[in-house]
Structure 1
Amino acid sequence: MQIDQYRDALLLLMVSIAAVNDLATRRIPNRLLFAGMSGALFLHLLSPEPGAALLSAVGGMLLGLVIFLPFYLVRGMAAGDVKMMAVIGFFTGPAEAFQIAVFTWCAGGVMALLLILLRSRLRLALVNIGHLLSGLIVPGTKLADMTLPQSAGSMPYGLAIAAGTIVVLVTQYG
Structure 2
Amino acid sequence: MLFGASLSIKALVIPLLAWVAWIDFSAQKISNRDVLLLLCLGLGSLQLVSIASGSWWDMGLSAIAGFVLFVALFPFWILRKVGAGDVKLMAVVPFLTGGNGLALFSVLLLVFAVATVAIMKNPFMLPAGAFRVYIQHLDRKGVVPFGVPISAAAICTIAFQIYATLALVVSSGILRQLN
- Normalised-by-shorter TM-score class: 0.5 to 0.7
| TM-score, normalised with respect to structure 2 | 0.66
| CA distance in 2: counterparts of 1:106 and 1:75, whole angstroms | 23
Gaps of 5+ in 1: 120-150
Taking a change above 3 Å as real, the CA distance of residues 39 and 114 of structure 1, as seen in their structure-2 partners, is closer
Q: What's the offset of the Cα at 1:71? A: 4.1
Alignment match of 2:151 (pick from 152, 157, 162): 162
Alignment match of 2:28 (pick from 16, 26, 33): 26
| 1:13 paired residue number | 15
Say which structure is richer in helix: 2
Is this contact kept in 1: 2:101–2:157, CA < 8 A? yes
| 1:112 paired residue number | 117
Match for 1:55: what amino acid?
G
Q: What's the offset of the Cα at 1:152? A: 7.1
CA RMSD, 1 decimal: 2.8
Q: What's the offset of the Cα at 1:69? A: 4.1
Q: Does 1:35 align with 2:27?
A: no
Q: Which moved more, 1:17-26 or 1:101-110?
A: 101-110
| TM-score, normalised with respect to structure 1 | 0.67
Q: What's the offset of the Cα at 1:19? A: 0.4
Alignment of 1:71-150 (within 5 A): 71-118=76-123
Q: What's the offset of the Cα at 1:171? A: 3.4
Is this contact kept in 1: 2:46–2:98, CA < 8 A? no
| CA distance in 1: counterparts of 2:97 and 2:121, whole angstroms | 32
Q: Deviations for 1:60-101, whole angstroms, at most 9, x for unmatched residues? A: 322443554454354332111111011111222334234313
| CA distance in 2: counterparts of 1:40 and 1:53, whole angstroms | 12
Is this contact kept in 2: 1:59–1:90, CA < 8 A? no
Q: What's the offset of the Cα at 1:170? A: 3.5
Match for 1:160: what amino acid?
P
Q: What's the offset of the Cα at 1:50? A: 6.7
SS of alignment partner, residue 27 of structure 1: coil
Q: Which moved more, 1:18-27 or 1:110-119?
A: 110-119
Q: Percent identity between the aligned chains?
A: 23
Is this contact kept in 2: 1:101–1:161, CA < 8 A? no
| CA distance in 1: counterparts of 2:99 and 2:45, whole angstroms | 17
Is this contact kept in 1: 2:105–2:154, CA < 8 A? yes
| CA distance in 1: counterparts of 2:77 and 2:118, whole angstroms | 19
Taking a change above 3 Å as real, the CA distance of residues 171 and 43 of structure 1, as seen in their structure-2 partners, is closer
Q: What's the offset of the Cα at 1:7? A: 3.5
